[in-house]
């Protein structure tokens, strides 16, 4: 139990680091854009950083409205496959895709960050969870067209088994 608590504390600290960086990019209430992000400022976190394209102005909880533009190398361990370039519907089971579509739609509609802890049991990894952070990005400073993500695996990654993820 102490090990998981330490992992959560470490994940929380990295989430705070990413959030502070994102917040520092805001300008007079306007959202930062992808162009504002300098990867050298979060270099050590790049393996757990992701960028998600918002493909529809009103995603309406649609899993096909979100595509992984970029997924850090550590996320391969979480998913057991390369997820870059795939829509949420292509990555997850239908139930999991709906969960993520709702969480990401919240970020788009509210123009605010979102955070959560999600079990990876759908992958056959009951002892593993994903502690996630999603931050809105907007090319025009207003309309969310991309989401910056940071993910931390909590639990025992060595327990990862073959997934039930559908391949594209």
Report the distance separating Cα 30 and Cα 138, nearest Å: 8
What homologous superfamily is domain 2-159 in, according to CATH? PAS domain (3.30.450.20)
pLDDT in tens, 31-68: 999 999 999 999 999 999 999 999 988 888 888 899 99
Report the distance separating Cα 111 and Cα 70, nearest Å: 21
Backbone φ and ψ of 32, nearest 5°: -70, 160
As beta bridge partners, residue 149 has 50, 134
pLDDT in tens, 111-159: 999 999 876 655 666 667 788 999 999 999 999 999 999 998 877 654 4
pLDDT score for 22: 97
pLDDT score for 167: 35
Three-state DSSP class for 109?
helix
Domain ranges of the chain: 2-159
């Amino acid at each position: 139990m102490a090990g998981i608590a330490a992992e959560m504390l470490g994940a929380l600290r990295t989430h705070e680091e990413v959030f502070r960086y994102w917040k520092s990019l805001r300008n007079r209430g306007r959202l930062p854009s992808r162009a504002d992000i300098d990867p050298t400022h979060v270099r050590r976190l790049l393996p757990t950083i992701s960028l998600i394209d918002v493909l529809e102005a009103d995603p309406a909880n649609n899993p096909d409205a979100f595509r992984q533009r970029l997924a850090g190398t550590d996320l391969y361990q979480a998913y057991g496959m390369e997820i870059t370039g795939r829509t949420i519907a292509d990555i997850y089971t239908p139930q999991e895709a709906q969960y993520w579509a709702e969480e990401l739609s919240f970020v788009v509609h509210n123009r605010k960050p979102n955070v959560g802890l999600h079990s990876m049991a759908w992958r056959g990894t009951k002892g593993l969870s994903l502690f996630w952070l999603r931050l809105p990005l907007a090319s025009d400073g207003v309309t969310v067209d991309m989401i910056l993500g940071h993910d931390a695996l909590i639990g025992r990654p060595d327990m990862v088994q073959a997934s039930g993820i559908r391949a594209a």
